[in-house]
Every structure is written in C-alpha cells, then in structure tokens.
Amino acid sequence: MQRRTFMKGTLAAGGVAVAVSAGLLSPRAVLAAWPKSAFEAKSVSDALSGLGVGTSSASGDIKIKAPDIAENGAVVPVQVKTSIAGVTSIAILTEKNANPLAANFNLKGSAKGFVATRIKMSKTSPVIAVVKAGGKAYSARKEVKVTIGGCGG
C-alpha cells in the first residue's frame, strides 16, 4: 500500500528531474554515513576494524548491565556505563551472532558515558562493550545465557 503511493509520487514527479534526484539522494546520503562493513562483518575483530578500532584493552571502568540468563533472545536489555573520561563512542557487540555488531553510539559534547538499549541474541554468548576515549579503545564483556534465540524465524 505504502509502496504504491510512493511509486505514484515518484512517477508524478518524473518530469521534474530536480525533485526526483532530491527524493532519491536523501536516503543515500544517510547510507553513506552508516558503517556498512562494520555491521556486515562476521567476526568481532572485523567489526571493530570497520569502526576504526584496532586493539582494545580490557578495562574495569566499564560496567555492562545485562541479565545472566535471557529467556527471550529477541529482547535482551543491555546497559553500558563507564567512568572513563572523554568517551567518544560506545559499541555493543554479541560475539556469537552472525553479525556481531549490534549498535555503535557516537557521543558528543556534553554526553555522558552511558547508553542503554535492547538487542537480539541468537544464542548464549558474551556481550562485548567497546568504549573509545581519547583515541584509545577499552573493552569489557559479560556472558549472557540465552534459552530461546532471537534471530531465526
């Protein structure tokens, strides 16, 4: 239904080249900023290099709040909090998902080292948080047991 109205709109504007290119360019501009290679990476290290993180050192100043046992892998609440100063980004990865990278949060200006969201996990796996601060990367991990996976059909 929605696609139909979209097609109609595009066809109607077909004569006006400017309108068409403007309409088609905006989603592409968004895609350019999105780190596709990092999200399609099949391993944690590939995903991190896609985000421009080389090596990360383990840090005790990152706290991951996630359940020990997640009954439903489709909805696993994860909270990452860090006391490291000058945090520029926080990435959340699930080591054993087909594509480990779940989300990357770029923090700017007055933002604090805190993010929370809910992710899907296909099976029991460590959840990894990678914090970038002052050009260095720090990481922490927490094992989450999943009883029902959340990535299949």
Interface contacts to other proteins, rule CB under 8 A:
2, 26-27, 30-31, 33-35, 39, 74-77, 79, 94, 97-99, 101-112, 114-121, 150-153
**Max CA separation in the chain (angstroms):** 60
Nearer to other proteins, 23 or 145 (CB): 23
Minimum distance of other proteins from residue 94's CB (angstroms) = 7
Smallest CA-to-CA distance from 134 within 107, 101, 105 is with 107
Element (H, E) at 127: strand 125-133
Q: How far lies 53's CA from each of 8, 88, 130, 133, 136, in Å?
A: 44, 12, 9, 11, 8
Tell me the backbone φ, ψ of residue 9, rounded to 5 degrees: -60, -40
Minimum distance of other proteins from residue 95's CB (angstroms) = 12
Task: In whole angstroms, give the CA distance from residue 104 to residue 85.
Answer: 18
Minimum distance of other proteins from residue 4's CB (angstroms) = 14
Nearer to other proteins, 26 or 57 (CB): 26
Nearer to other proteins, 35 or 145 (CB): 35
Nearer to other proteins, 145 or 151 (CB): 151
Minimum distance of other proteins from residue 119's CB (angstroms) = 5
